[in-house]
Amino acid sequence: MFGNNRIVTKFYKSYYRFYKNKNNLKNIEKINNPILKIASKSIEQVIRNKITPVELKWVKGIKKLRDNLRKSTIEINFENYGAGTHIDSISLEKKGNKVIIKKTIGQICESTVLFKWGLLLFKIVKEFKPKICLELGTCIGISAAYQAAALEMNNQGKIYTIEGASSLVKLSENNLSNMFYFVHLFVFMISENRNKNNSSIPQEEQVLGLLLESKNHLNKNDPNEKVSLQVSF
């Protein structure tokens, strides 16, 4: 399962417009597709604000974390590798496809997943009960937290979250460790000084290889122990 804020938002908005038509809802219920039914159930719960007290406790904790981070005026420098993020901050250095920029934690937080979209992501993970969630772009860990909370409630699964900016890695690790999840968090740091022997291997294949190595690492650890690992390539 992939975590992507823009995809989730687009999916939710499209479905909401579709869902408002009761005839469309009846047509969905007639379709014998378990995946569609689970997705439909997740979105319906968000639209109708169906949330249990236990779920509310988790998502409110994450919302509180985000609200607190929005107030932070601490400035950090981080790398942007041109993955599509709109850069509206001070450019400090340009090197290849990478731009070193400076923002306050509060400014960074503005681009993280909002409560409604985070709740949808939480519901989807909770209903689908995936064994593995793969998120591309950790940022400061808010969307990862929603997924991790759902995995916590499911009492199964792991989340692998990939981030290339070392300063954001440290920040997200701190945020997620404070939430006391039992799930395993992996942050992959993309290094410019990769081993020359691996320079011809696509980054996607290197990530998959590292995930397999990480799986072997996890099998040696107690499943209830929270593990935080950084891998550079």
HEC string for the chain: CEECHHHHHHHHHHHHHHHCCHHHHHHHHHCCCHHHHHHHHHHHHHHCCCCCHHHHHHHHHHHHHHHHHHCCCCEEEEEECCCCCCCCCEEEEEECCEEEEEEEHHHHHCCCCCHHHHHHHHHHHHHHCCCEEEEECCCCCHHHHHHHHHHHHHCCCEEEEECCCHHHHHHHHHHHHCCCCCCCEEEEECCCCCCHHHCCCCHHHHHHHHHHHHHHHHHCCCCCCCCEEEEEC
pLDDT reading at 34 higher than 80? yes
Token digits of residue 195: 């081993």
Domain ranges of the chain: 1-26+51-233
Q: What is the pLDDT of residue 227?
A: 40
Per residue in 159-176, pLDDT tens? 888 887 888 888 888 888
- What percent of the chain is predicted at pLDDT more than 90? 24
Q: From CA 64, how far away is CA 148, in angstroms rounded?
A: 16
Q: For residue 65, name the pLDDT band (cuts at 50, 70, 90).
A: very high
Per residue in 186-218, pLDDT tens? 556 555 444 444 444 455 555 566 566 555 555
If we measure between CA atoms, which residue out of 39, 56, 61, 16 comes closest to residue 124? 39
Specify the long-range contacts of residues 213-217, CB closer than 8 Å, at least 24 apart. Answer: 214/160, 214/186
Q: What is the pLDDT of residue 61?
A: 92
**Higher pLDDT, residue 75 or 207:** 75
Burial of 193 (0-12, 13-18, 19+ CB in 10 A): exposed
Per residue in 105-134, pLDDT tens? 999 999 888 898 899 999 999 999 998 888
Of 24-38, 46-60, 71-85, 190-204, minimum mean pLDDT range: 190-204
Is pTM beyond 0.85? Reply is no
